[in-house]
Structure 1
Amino acid sequence: MKILCISDTHGQHRHFTDQIQSIDADVLVHAGDITAEGSFLNLKDFLTWLKAFNHIPHKVFVGGNHDRILEVEASYLATLRDLLARYNIWYLHHESITIDGVNFYGSSYSPEFMNWHFMYRRGEPAQALWDMIPQNTDVLITHTPPFGILDEVIGWGGSIRTGGNVGCRDLLDRVNLLNPMLHVFGHIHNGYGCTSGKNVKTSYVNAALLNEQYRPVNKPILVEI
């Protein structure tokens, strides 16, 4: 299965239309921060944009800390779920879907930081949240990275963050236990890229397409599992 990974488009998704049109894939995955500050119009345009990629049979996405509309207006997508399913578009809010025998699990959450959305406290709340990921997960989609893997902030925001690894330790523990084939995330823009961690079975992709200055400089990442 070929999986095309993108994340953190922040309302600039149409900048990547030609690139995505030129890539053959079975599933398009977006790992959150779809909108610019939670705009309803961004979300509506994003769904229209996804629907147009007829050459990719399935599209799966989660929200992110900037996607206010998905958190406070959850009923909007609930009413669209059947319509989106006609186009094989799936919004995973801490839930699973099986596509061609491959089990995908998606979650919009990330560790608490400032006054954003889909956030949790580190420690016991984080462990309880990630313990919900099913044992049979093949492809894990989260907005946050796991700790120490493509999660390094380098002096972003001056006094707000001074650098270092900001991913989630409890998520890393869960991934190491489950050994999924692929873990796709974003959130930390300058962590963009691919790697394998201590668990060599799992490929990790930080698919953030905008850099820390919110410029659309990165490319969608194609992975085969």
Structure 2
Amino acid sequence: MSDPFIRRHYPDYFLSSPLAAFLYPFHHLLLRLRGPPRLPPPDARPIRVVCISDTHTLEWNDVPDGDLLIHAGDLCDDGSAREIQAAVDWLRKLPHPHKVVICGNHDGYFDIRSRRSEDRDRSFAGVSSSTASLRSIDDFDSPHCIDWGDIHYLQHSSVTLTFPPLPQPPSASSALLASRPRSLTIYGAPQIPAIVPFGPEHAFTYPAHHDAWSSTVPANTDILITHTPPQSHLDLSPVYSTGCPFLLTEAWRVRPALHVFGHVHAAYGGEPVYWDEAQKAWERICASRRLRAGHTRFSSLVGFLRDLVDIPGWVDSARVLLYGMLGVVWAKVWGGESRGGWMVNAACMYQDSGRLGNKPQVVVL
């Protein structure tokens, strides 16, 4: 079986589902033509959010300036408090006024099951895996040995940050004087589905069929930070999806302005989401083809033939194109306002090369 975290060659996508392979570029073209899914309020300052993830003990030399820096996990490699503190020390030196960090599966110190022996408190040896993976470290009264400084660390928790209005020159117009402060509520959670047999050193894993997300994210969340991607979005979809379907359902319920994640290095990028019929149809196409990911190229021919008679798939493909074009007309011709959001896979590690090759991404809210 091929590594599910490595992008497959185009023939694999085509053989597994020619319908999805042809539809994919048109769907994403229509997404881009619609323009930004969300703009800053006209009477308030824009907030510049810098997103990084999966730095694995390495340091990006030129992190862009911004109002908020987000790191979506995998600060280190071996999970030790020593490596994590070194990564935190680097983040603390960056000039961003607000910084928010979650952990990932390589940050084993934060999951009692996965701690290295040098960091382990023997009194927690009997904690069950199902409990440790979904509860905060604070619930066990475990000592924090990480010096976070000005960084907000989130683990199944939220923080609300306030961004003051930009300073205005004395000659500023009345429109500029209307600029007001803004607040954003940010929720972070680290758990990831174990779609491969992860070892005990991998933190916060749960069985892929287990629902670790429903009703866990506060409804007032503006920015959602997870380590795993949701299914069908920047997770090597279509067909070879590594994201969590339960997280996708939770994202639909909350509809954050920005969802930042990492974990799947090869799926780095950003995309707009609109929470509409086109997106629903595309996600159904991806979900219905996910089981084909384990097939060989020869057996994928069955998927090729199946697409020819997949009436629901053809109907959903028509929905993707029709509602996508209507969205473009609504935004560009009628000037309609979108209330969508952004999904960002901010993995800085370039595939599994051991080097940081994916640039930090910036989103303006």
TM range (shorter): 0.7 to 0.9
Look up the match of 1:9: 55
In the alignment, is residue 168 of structure 1 matched against residue 244 of structure 2?
yes
In structure 1, what is the equivalent of residue 111 of structure 2? 71
The answer to whether residue 359 in structure 2 is matched with residue 219 in structure 1 is: yes
Confirm or deny: 8 A CA contact 1:111 1:119 kept in the other structure: yes
Residue aligned with 1:49, SS:
helix
User: Which stretch shifts more, 68-77 or 187-196?
Assistant: 68-77
Amino acid at match of 1:92: L
1:90 aligns with 2:90: no
Task: Quote the offset at 1:153 in angstroms.
Answer: 7.7
* Separation in structure 2 between the aligned mates of residue 69 and residue 175 of structure 1, nearest angstrom: 27
Give the C-alpha shift of residue 76 in structure 1.
4.3
Q: Which runs of 5+ in 2 are unaligned?
A: 1-46, 116-136, 163-182, 276-338
Cα deviation 1:43-83 (Å, max 9, x = unaligned): 11111111111x20111111111111121365343x55xx6
1:19 aligned residue: 62
Which TM-score applies when normalising by structure 1?
0.84
CA distance in 1, matches of 2:221, 2:207: 24
Structure 1: give runs of 5+ residues left out of the alignment: 155-162
Instruction: Give the whole-Å Cα distance in 1 for the aligned partners of 2:362 and 2:184.
Output: 16
Maintained 8 Å contact 1:149/1:197: no
Aligned to 1:134: 218
Q: How many Å apart are 1:125 and its aligned residue?
A: 3.1
Counterpart amino acid of residue 260 in structure 2: V
How big is the shift at 1:30? 0.5
Bigger relative contact order, structure 1 or 2 (CA pairs below 8 A, ≥6 apart): 2
More helix by share: 2
Higher fraction of strand: 1
Structure showing greater radius of gyration is: 2
Aligned amino acid, residue 205 of structure 2: M
Deviation at 1:37, TM superposition (A): 2.2
Q: Does 1:180 align with 2:256?
A: yes
Which of 347, 356, 359 aligns to 1:208? It is 347
CA RMSD in angstroms, aligned pairs only: 2.0
Length, aligned pairs only: 204
Offset of 1:217 from its aligned partner? Answer: 0.8
CA contact (8 A) 2:214 2:249 kept: no
Match for residue 45 of structure 1?
Answer: 86
